[in-house]
Amino acid sequence: MEATVELEANTKHSIWLPMTLAGSMFFILGCITWLNGAITPFLQQMLVLSPLQASFIISSFYIAVTVAGIPSAMLIKRVGYKNGMAIGCAIMAASALMYIPAAKLQMIEIFLFAQLMIGVGQTILQTAINPYVVKMGSEKSAAVRVCIMGLLNKFAGVIVPVIFAAVVVSGVVADGEQLSQAQKDAMANSLILPYLAIAGFILLFALFAKFAPLPDLVFEESEGSGKGEVKEALQHPHLVFGVIGIALYVAVEVIAADTIGSYALQIGVADYSVMTSYTMACMLIGYAIGIALIPRFMSQQSALVMSGVAGIVTVLAVIMGSNDSFIIANLLLVPFGGPELPDPLLCIALLGFANAMVWPAIWPLALAGLGRLTGTASGLLIMGIAGGALGPLLIGLGNVVGLGPQGAYVVMIPSYLFILFYALKGHKMKSWK
Protein backbone atom coordinates (compact mmCIF):
# COMPACT_ATOMS: atom_id res chain seq x y z
CA MET A 1 0.00 0.00 0.00
CA GLU A 2 1.32 3.45 -0.88
CA ALA A 3 2.62 5.83 1.74
CA THR A 4 0.46 8.69 2.87
CA VAL A 5 2.34 11.93 2.59
CA GLU A 6 1.26 14.52 5.13
CA LEU A 7 3.66 16.97 3.54
CA GLU A 8 1.76 16.87 0.27
CA ALA A 9 -1.64 17.17 1.89
CA ASN A 10 -0.85 20.08 4.15
CA THR A 11 1.42 22.24 2.00
CA LYS A 12 -0.30 22.44 -1.38
CA HIS A 13 -0.28 26.22 -1.16
CA SER A 14 3.11 26.58 0.55
CA ILE A 15 5.38 24.19 -1.32
CA TRP A 16 8.19 26.76 -1.33
CA LEU A 17 8.82 26.37 2.41
CA PRO A 18 9.48 22.61 2.27
CA MET A 19 11.50 23.15 -0.91
CA THR A 20 13.54 25.78 0.93
CA LEU A 21 14.24 23.35 3.77
CA ALA A 22 15.17 20.58 1.35
CA GLY A 23 17.29 22.92 -0.75
CA SER A 24 19.23 24.16 2.27
CA MET A 25 19.97 20.58 3.31
CA PHE A 26 21.23 19.69 -0.16
CA PHE A 27 23.41 22.80 -0.14
CA ILE A 28 24.95 21.70 3.16
CA LEU A 29 25.55 18.22 1.76
CA GLY A 30 27.26 19.80 -1.23
CA CYS A 31 29.50 21.99 0.93
CA ILE A 32 30.70 19.04 3.00
CA THR A 33 30.90 16.44 0.24
CA TRP A 34 32.68 18.47 -2.43
CA LEU A 35 35.13 20.04 0.00
CA ASN A 36 36.84 16.62 -0.17
CA GLY A 37 38.07 17.37 -3.68
CA ALA A 38 39.85 20.52 -2.49
CA ILE A 39 41.19 19.34 0.85
CA THR A 40 42.55 15.98 -0.37
CA PRO A 41 45.39 17.32 -2.56
CA PHE A 42 45.98 20.03 0.09
CA LEU A 43 46.51 17.39 2.79
CA GLN A 44 48.42 15.24 0.31
CA GLN A 45 50.95 18.04 -0.04
CA MET A 46 50.95 19.13 3.61
CA LEU A 47 51.32 15.61 5.07
CA VAL A 48 53.46 14.30 2.17
CA LEU A 49 51.10 11.44 1.25
CA SER A 50 51.26 9.02 -1.67
CA PRO A 51 48.24 8.92 -4.05
CA LEU A 52 47.07 5.70 -2.35
CA GLN A 53 47.38 7.23 1.12
CA ALA A 54 45.54 10.35 -0.06
CA SER A 55 42.69 8.18 -1.35
CA PHE A 56 41.96 7.12 2.25
CA ILE A 57 40.92 10.71 3.05
CA ILE A 58 38.04 10.43 0.61
CA SER A 59 37.30 6.76 1.31
CA SER A 60 36.97 7.26 5.07
CA PHE A 61 34.22 9.83 4.40
CA TYR A 62 32.20 7.41 2.29
CA ILE A 63 32.87 4.19 4.20
CA ALA A 64 30.80 5.68 7.03
CA VAL A 65 27.72 4.92 4.94
CA THR A 66 28.30 1.18 5.27
CA VAL A 67 28.16 1.53 9.04
CA ALA A 68 25.44 4.15 9.31
CA GLY A 69 23.02 3.37 6.44
CA ILE A 70 20.51 1.02 8.08
CA PRO A 71 20.90 2.54 11.59
CA SER A 72 20.08 5.91 9.98
CA ALA A 73 16.86 4.52 8.53
CA MET A 74 15.93 3.06 11.94
CA LEU A 75 16.72 6.37 13.66
CA ILE A 76 14.60 8.37 11.23
CA LYS A 77 11.71 5.94 11.58
CA ARG A 78 11.87 6.64 15.32
CA VAL A 79 12.40 10.43 15.38
CA GLY A 80 10.94 11.52 12.02
CA TYR A 81 12.42 13.02 8.88
CA LYS A 82 12.73 16.60 10.13
CA ASN A 83 14.43 15.60 13.37
CA GLY A 84 16.65 13.28 11.36
CA MET A 85 17.83 16.25 9.29
CA ALA A 86 18.59 18.21 12.46
CA ILE A 87 20.52 15.33 14.03
CA GLY A 88 22.53 14.77 10.84
CA CYS A 89 23.50 18.45 10.68
CA ALA A 90 24.42 18.52 14.39
CA ILE A 91 26.76 15.54 14.00
CA MET A 92 28.42 17.15 10.98
CA ALA A 93 28.91 20.42 12.90
CA ALA A 94 30.54 18.58 15.82
CA SER A 95 32.70 16.54 13.44
CA ALA A 96 33.94 19.69 11.67
CA LEU A 97 35.46 20.81 14.97
CA MET A 98 37.64 17.67 14.98
CA TYR A 99 39.60 19.05 12.04
CA ILE A 100 41.11 21.69 14.35
CA PRO A 101 43.12 19.29 16.58
CA ALA A 102 43.88 17.24 13.47
CA ALA A 103 45.43 20.32 11.85
CA LYS A 104 47.33 21.40 14.96
CA LEU A 105 48.83 17.92 15.47
CA GLN A 106 49.20 17.26 11.72
CA MET A 107 48.04 13.68 12.26
CA ILE A 108 46.40 11.87 9.35
CA GLU A 109 44.70 9.48 11.80
CA ILE A 110 42.64 12.30 13.35
CA PHE A 111 41.76 13.65 9.92
CA LEU A 112 40.52 10.20 8.91
CA PHE A 113 38.40 9.88 12.07
CA ALA A 114 36.92 13.34 11.50
CA GLN A 115 36.12 12.37 7.91
CA LEU A 116 34.46 9.17 9.15
CA MET A 117 32.25 11.00 11.66
CA ILE A 118 31.25 13.77 9.28
CA GLY A 119 30.33 10.96 6.87
CA VAL A 120 28.03 9.48 9.53
CA GLY A 121 26.27 12.84 9.88
CA GLN A 122 25.80 13.24 6.13
CA THR A 123 24.45 9.66 5.92
CA ILE A 124 21.70 10.48 8.43
CA LEU A 125 20.91 13.70 6.56
CA GLN A 126 20.87 11.92 3.18
CA THR A 127 18.55 9.20 4.51
CA ALA A 128 16.10 11.83 5.71
CA ILE A 129 16.15 14.35 2.89
CA ASN A 130 16.03 12.18 -0.25
CA PRO A 131 12.64 10.49 0.38
CA TYR A 132 11.37 13.87 1.64
CA VAL A 133 12.03 15.29 -1.83
CA VAL A 134 10.88 12.22 -3.79
CA LYS A 135 7.58 11.97 -1.92
CA MET A 136 6.57 15.65 -1.78
CA GLY A 137 4.95 15.33 -5.21
CA SER A 138 4.25 13.08 -8.18
CA GLU A 139 6.68 10.20 -8.82
CA LYS A 140 6.77 11.14 -12.52
CA SER A 141 8.29 14.52 -11.72
CA ALA A 142 10.47 13.28 -8.84
CA ALA A 143 13.61 13.42 -10.98
CA VAL A 144 12.95 17.11 -11.67
CA ARG A 145 12.67 17.91 -7.94
CA VAL A 146 15.86 15.95 -7.25
CA CYS A 147 17.48 17.87 -10.12
CA ILE A 148 16.57 21.16 -8.45
CA MET A 149 18.09 19.90 -5.22
CA GLY A 150 21.09 18.69 -7.19
CA LEU A 151 21.60 22.16 -8.64
CA LEU A 152 22.02 23.52 -5.11
CA ASN A 153 24.25 20.60 -4.12
CA LYS A 154 26.50 21.00 -7.14
CA PHE A 155 26.47 24.80 -6.92
CA ALA A 156 28.03 24.31 -3.49
CA GLY A 157 30.54 22.06 -5.22
CA VAL A 158 31.43 24.87 -7.62
CA ILE A 159 31.95 27.61 -5.05
CA VAL A 160 33.41 25.69 -2.08
CA PRO A 161 36.72 24.70 -3.79
CA VAL A 162 37.11 28.28 -5.04
CA ILE A 163 36.52 29.68 -1.55
CA PHE A 164 38.86 27.05 -0.07
CA ALA A 165 41.56 28.02 -2.55
CA ALA A 166 41.13 31.73 -1.79
CA VAL A 167 40.88 31.45 2.00
CA VAL A 168 43.10 28.48 2.80
CA VAL A 169 45.46 27.67 -0.09
CA SER A 170 46.36 31.19 -1.22
CA GLY A 171 49.67 32.33 0.20
CA VAL A 172 50.53 29.16 2.15
CA VAL A 173 51.38 26.48 -0.43
CA ALA A 174 54.98 26.42 -1.56
CA ASP A 175 55.92 26.20 -5.22
CA GLY A 176 58.34 23.35 -4.70
CA GLU A 177 57.49 19.75 -3.86
CA GLN A 178 59.47 19.76 -0.59
CA LEU A 179 57.89 21.77 2.22
CA SER A 180 59.67 23.08 5.28
CA GLN A 181 58.09 22.50 8.70
CA ALA A 182 57.22 26.20 8.87
CA GLN A 183 55.33 25.91 5.59
CA LYS A 184 53.49 22.81 6.85
CA ASP A 185 52.56 24.67 10.04
CA ALA A 186 51.24 27.59 8.01
CA MET A 187 49.11 25.25 5.92
CA ALA A 188 47.76 23.52 9.05
CA ASN A 189 46.94 26.80 10.83
CA SER A 190 45.06 28.04 7.77
CA LEU A 191 42.45 25.31 8.34
CA ILE A 192 41.40 26.36 11.86
CA LEU A 193 39.18 29.41 11.27
CA PRO A 194 37.49 27.97 8.15
CA TYR A 195 36.45 24.82 10.01
CA LEU A 196 35.17 26.86 12.95
CA ALA A 197 33.04 28.78 10.45
CA ILE A 198 31.87 25.55 8.80
CA ALA A 199 30.77 24.11 12.17
CA GLY A 200 28.80 27.25 13.02
CA PHE A 201 27.23 27.42 9.55
CA ILE A 202 25.98 23.82 9.70
CA LEU A 203 24.67 24.29 13.25
CA LEU A 204 22.44 27.11 12.03
CA PHE A 205 20.89 24.77 9.48
CA ALA A 206 20.37 22.13 12.18
CA LEU A 207 18.29 24.68 14.12
CA PHE A 208 16.38 25.58 10.93
CA ALA A 209 15.53 21.91 10.31
CA LYS A 210 14.43 21.46 13.93
CA PHE A 211 12.23 24.52 14.32
CA ALA A 212 10.92 25.23 10.79
CA PRO A 213 7.09 25.00 10.80
CA LEU A 214 6.82 22.07 8.40
CA PRO A 215 4.89 18.78 8.48
CA ASP A 216 6.76 15.52 8.33
CA LEU A 217 6.40 12.58 5.96
CA VAL A 218 4.01 10.07 7.47
CA PHE A 219 4.00 6.47 6.28
CA GLU A 220 1.53 3.80 7.23
CA GLU A 221 2.66 1.58 10.06
CA SER A 222 4.34 -1.54 8.80
CA GLU A 223 3.83 -4.98 10.27
CA GLY A 224 7.53 -5.76 10.20
CA SER A 225 10.47 -3.79 11.48
CA GLY A 226 14.22 -3.70 11.42
CA LYS A 227 15.68 -6.78 9.77
CA GLY A 228 12.21 -7.98 8.70
CA GLU A 229 11.60 -4.90 6.59
CA VAL A 230 15.09 -5.07 5.12
CA LYS A 231 14.49 -8.68 4.08
CA GLU A 232 11.14 -7.73 2.56
CA ALA A 233 12.64 -4.79 0.70
CA LEU A 234 15.34 -7.03 -0.77
CA GLN A 235 12.63 -9.10 -2.45
CA HIS A 236 12.33 -6.28 -5.01
CA PRO A 237 15.03 -6.66 -7.70
CA HIS A 238 14.56 -3.13 -9.03
CA LEU A 239 15.51 -1.84 -5.56
CA VAL A 240 18.50 -4.18 -5.15
CA PHE A 241 19.86 -3.26 -8.58
CA GLY A 242 19.15 0.38 -7.74
CA VAL A 243 21.32 0.11 -4.63
CA ILE A 244 24.13 -1.41 -6.71
CA GLY A 245 23.62 1.29 -9.33
CA ILE A 246 23.85 4.04 -6.70
CA ALA A 247 27.04 2.48 -5.29
CA LEU A 248 28.71 2.34 -8.69
CA TYR A 249 27.45 5.79 -9.63
CA VAL A 250 28.79 7.38 -6.45
CA ALA A 251 32.12 5.66 -7.10
CA VAL A 252 32.46 7.34 -10.51
CA GLU A 253 31.02 10.64 -9.28
CA VAL A 254 33.59 10.78 -6.49
CA ILE A 255 36.39 9.83 -8.88
CA ALA A 256 35.42 12.63 -11.26
CA ALA A 257 35.00 15.27 -8.55
CA ASP A 258 37.45 14.36 -5.81
CA THR A 259 40.42 12.86 -7.65
CA ILE A 260 40.67 15.52 -10.36
CA GLY A 261 42.64 17.75 -7.97
CA SER A 262 45.12 14.98 -7.18
CA TYR A 263 45.50 14.23 -10.89
CA ALA A 264 46.15 17.92 -11.56
CA LEU A 265 48.75 17.96 -8.77
CA GLN A 266 50.51 14.93 -10.29
CA ILE A 267 50.75 16.47 -13.76
CA GLY A 268 51.95 19.82 -12.41
CA VAL A 269 48.86 22.05 -12.63
CA ALA A 270 49.32 24.90 -10.14
CA ASP A 271 45.65 25.55 -9.32
CA TYR A 272 44.88 21.94 -8.35
CA SER A 273 42.60 22.90 -5.45
CA VAL A 274 39.93 24.46 -7.71
CA MET A 275 39.67 21.57 -10.18
CA THR A 276 36.61 20.11 -8.42
CA SER A 277 34.76 23.28 -9.41
CA TYR A 278 35.14 22.35 -13.08
CA THR A 279 33.50 18.96 -12.53
CA MET A 280 30.71 20.52 -10.48
CA ALA A 281 30.10 23.19 -13.12
CA CYS A 282 29.62 20.46 -15.71
CA MET A 283 27.18 18.71 -13.37
CA LEU A 284 25.24 21.96 -12.94
CA ILE A 285 24.82 22.18 -16.70
CA GLY A 286 23.62 18.57 -16.77
CA TYR A 287 21.09 19.21 -14.00
CA ALA A 288 19.78 22.32 -15.73
CA ILE A 289 19.23 20.36 -18.95
CA GLY A 290 17.50 17.61 -16.96
CA ILE A 291 15.10 20.09 -15.37
CA ALA A 292 14.26 21.51 -18.79
CA LEU A 293 13.71 18.15 -20.51
CA ILE A 294 12.24 15.77 -17.86
CA PRO A 295 9.48 14.59 -18.03
CA ARG A 296 8.11 16.74 -20.87
CA PHE A 297 10.62 15.75 -23.56
CA MET A 298 12.56 12.88 -22.01
CA SER A 299 11.80 10.11 -19.53
CA GLN A 300 13.93 9.35 -16.47
CA GLN A 301 14.88 6.04 -18.09
CA SER A 302 16.07 7.71 -21.31
CA ALA A 303 18.18 10.17 -19.33
CA LEU A 304 19.82 7.24 -17.54
CA VAL A 305 20.61 5.50 -20.84
CA MET A 306 22.26 8.64 -22.18
CA SER A 307 24.26 9.02 -18.96
CA GLY A 308 25.68 5.50 -19.21
CA VAL A 309 26.72 5.95 -22.85
CA ALA A 310 28.19 9.42 -22.24
CA GLY A 311 30.19 8.11 -19.28
CA ILE A 312 31.81 5.30 -21.28
CA VAL A 313 32.73 7.61 -24.17
CA THR A 314 34.19 10.28 -21.86
CA VAL A 315 36.29 7.79 -19.85
CA LEU A 316 37.79 6.51 -23.11
CA ALA A 317 38.67 10.13 -23.97
CA VAL A 318 40.38 10.51 -20.57
CA ILE A 319 42.61 7.44 -20.86
CA MET A 320 43.42 7.90 -24.56
CA GLY A 321 44.01 11.68 -24.50
CA SER A 322 47.36 13.47 -24.39
CA ASN A 323 48.43 15.79 -21.58
CA ASP A 324 50.19 17.84 -24.24
CA SER A 325 46.91 18.53 -26.05
CA PHE A 326 44.78 21.58 -25.15
CA ILE A 327 42.02 21.40 -27.77
CA ILE A 328 39.10 21.51 -25.30
CA ALA A 329 40.58 24.39 -23.32
CA ASN A 330 41.26 26.37 -26.48
CA LEU A 331 37.62 25.92 -27.51
CA LEU A 332 35.83 26.41 -24.18
CA LEU A 333 38.12 28.22 -21.74
CA VAL A 334 40.91 30.25 -23.32
CA PRO A 335 38.62 32.44 -25.53
CA PHE A 336 36.84 33.57 -22.33
CA GLY A 337 40.00 34.21 -20.33
CA GLY A 338 40.20 30.75 -18.78
CA PRO A 339 43.35 28.68 -18.23
CA GLU A 340 44.94 26.34 -20.78
CA LEU A 341 44.43 22.90 -19.25
CA PRO A 342 45.24 19.45 -20.74
CA ASP A 343 42.45 17.57 -22.53
CA PRO A 344 42.44 14.50 -20.19
CA LEU A 345 42.03 16.78 -17.16
CA LEU A 346 39.06 18.55 -18.74
CA CYS A 347 37.56 15.22 -19.81
CA ILE A 348 37.56 14.19 -16.15
CA ALA A 349 35.60 17.38 -15.47
CA LEU A 350 33.22 16.58 -18.35
CA LEU A 351 32.36 13.33 -16.57
CA GLY A 352 30.34 15.61 -14.30
CA PHE A 353 27.98 16.24 -17.22
CA ALA A 354 27.65 12.48 -17.88
CA ASN A 355 26.98 11.85 -14.17
CA ALA A 356 24.44 14.61 -13.56
CA MET A 357 21.23 12.68 -14.27
CA VAL A 358 22.17 9.31 -12.75
CA TRP A 359 21.25 10.00 -9.12
CA PRO A 360 17.97 11.84 -9.91
CA ALA A 361 16.90 9.06 -12.28
CA ILE A 362 17.81 6.02 -10.15
CA TRP A 363 16.10 7.19 -6.95
CA PRO A 364 12.49 7.37 -8.22
CA LEU A 365 12.97 4.24 -10.36
CA ALA A 366 14.27 2.29 -7.36
CA LEU A 367 11.56 3.53 -4.94
CA ALA A 368 8.65 3.05 -7.36
CA GLY A 369 5.77 1.08 -5.83
CA LEU A 370 7.45 0.30 -2.49
CA GLY A 371 4.86 2.09 -0.32
CA ARG A 372 5.46 1.48 3.39
CA LEU A 373 8.94 0.10 2.61
CA THR A 374 10.06 3.49 1.27
CA GLY A 375 11.90 4.46 4.46
CA THR A 376 13.84 1.20 4.66
CA ALA A 377 14.50 1.25 0.91
CA SER A 378 15.84 4.79 1.26
CA GLY A 379 18.26 3.58 3.92
CA LEU A 380 19.47 0.83 1.59
CA LEU A 381 19.93 3.28 -1.26
CA ILE A 382 21.86 5.63 1.01
CA MET A 383 24.14 2.71 1.90
CA GLY A 384 25.04 2.71 -1.79
CA ILE A 385 26.93 5.96 -1.14
CA ALA A 386 29.60 3.69 0.35
CA GLY A 387 30.62 3.17 -3.27
CA GLY A 388 32.35 6.50 -2.91
CA ALA A 389 34.92 4.76 -0.71
CA LEU A 390 35.75 2.30 -3.49
CA GLY A 391 36.35 4.73 -6.36
CA PRO A 392 39.37 6.67 -5.01
CA LEU A 393 40.95 3.45 -3.71
CA LEU A 394 40.71 1.88 -7.16
CA ILE A 395 42.36 4.95 -8.68
CA GLY A 396 45.08 4.83 -6.03
CA LEU A 397 45.65 1.11 -6.61
CA GLY A 398 45.73 1.74 -10.35
CA ASN A 399 48.69 4.01 -9.78
CA VAL A 400 50.41 1.37 -7.64
CA VAL A 401 50.03 -1.46 -10.16
CA GLY A 402 51.42 0.60 -13.01
CA LEU A 403 48.38 1.95 -14.88
CA GLY A 404 49.55 5.45 -14.05
CA PRO A 405 47.48 8.45 -12.98
CA GLN A 406 45.76 8.61 -16.40
CA GLY A 407 45.27 4.92 -17.22
CA ALA A 408 43.81 4.22 -13.77
CA TYR A 409 40.55 5.89 -14.85
CA VAL A 410 39.70 2.77 -16.87
CA VAL A 411 38.22 1.36 -13.61
CA MET A 412 35.17 3.58 -14.23
CA ILE A 413 33.94 1.76 -17.35
CA PRO A 414 32.30 -1.25 -15.58
CA SER A 415 30.26 1.18 -13.46
CA TYR A 416 28.84 2.93 -16.50
CA LEU A 417 28.06 -0.43 -18.11
CA PHE A 418 25.97 -1.40 -15.06
CA ILE A 419 24.19 1.97 -15.09
CA LEU A 420 23.30 1.28 -18.71
CA PHE A 421 21.98 -2.17 -17.74
CA TYR A 422 19.80 -0.68 -14.99
CA ALA A 423 18.38 1.89 -17.38
CA LEU A 424 17.52 -0.69 -20.04
CA LYS A 425 16.39 -3.64 -17.91
CA GLY A 426 17.22 -3.59 -14.20
CA HIS A 427 14.60 -1.04 -13.12
CA LYS A 428 11.85 -3.08 -14.80
CA MET A 429 12.52 -6.25 -12.78
CA LYS A 430 9.86 -6.38 -10.05
CA SER A 431 10.32 -10.02 -9.03
CA TRP A 432 13.20 -12.48 -8.71
CA LYS A 433 11.07 -15.21 -10.34
Tally Cβ neighbours within 10 Å of residue 28: 30
Q: What pLDDT does residue 95 have?
A: 93
pLDDT of residue 176: 47
Q: What is the pLDDT of residues 115-171, one digit of tens each?
A: 999 989 988 888 888 777 766 666 666 667 776 787 787 788 788 888 887 777 765
| Percent of the chain clearing pLDDT 90 (strictly above) | 23
pLDDT at position 330 over 70: yes
103 contacts 189 by C-beta, under 8 angstroms: yes
What pLDDT score was predicted for residue 230? 79
Sign of the CA dihedral running 145, 29, 126, 77: negative
pLDDT of residue 171: 56
Tell me which of 118 and 401 has the higher pLDDT: 118
- CA-CA distance, 212 to 7, in Å (whole number)? 13
- pLDDT tens sequence across 403-426: 888 889 999 999 999 999 999 988
Give the pLDDT of residue 224: 43
Number of residues written out for the chain: 433
Residues 325, 333 contacting (CB under 8 angstroms): no
pLDDT score for 227: 61
Check: CB of residue 353 under 8 Å from CB of residue 310: yes
The pLDDT value given to residue 5: 45
Q: Which pLDDT score, from 0 to 100, does residue 242 have?
A: 92
Chain centre distance of CA 351: 14
Q: What is the pLDDT of residues 191-246, one digit of tens each?
A: 888 899 999 989 988 888 888 776 666 554 444 445 677 788 888 899 999 999 99
pLDDT tens across 352-394, in order?
999 988 888 888 888 887 877 877 787 788 778 778 878 888 8
Mean pLDDT rounded to a whole number for the chain: 82
Comparing C-alpha atoms, which of 311, 18, 9 is closest to residue 148?
18
pLDDT of 309 higher than 90: yes
Q: Give residue 138's pLDDT.
A: 63
Predicted confidence at residue 312, as pLDDT, reads 95
Domains of the chain with bracketed CATH: 6-216+225-428 (1.20.1250.20)
Residue range 250-289, pLDDT digits in tens:
899 889 988 888 888 888 887 777 888 889 889 888 878 8
Cα–Cα separations (whole angstroms), residue 131 to 37, 350, 409, 419: 27, 28, 32, 21
**Bond from prior residue into 295 cis (ω within 30 degrees of 0):** yes
Cβ-based neighbours of 400, under 8 Å, separated by 6 or more: 52
Cα distance between residue 390 and residue 308, in whole Å: 19
Contacts of 357 (CB under 8 A, 6+ apart): 143, 147, 286, 287, 290, 294, 303, 304, 306, 307
Q: Would you say residue 65 has pLDDT above 90?
A: no
335/9 Cα distance (integer angstroms): 51
The closest alpha carbon to 216, from 121, 326, 95, 79, belongs to 79
Count the neighbouring beta carbons within 10 Å of the beta carbon of residue 218: 14
**Does the pLDDT of residue 13 top 60, yes or no?**
no
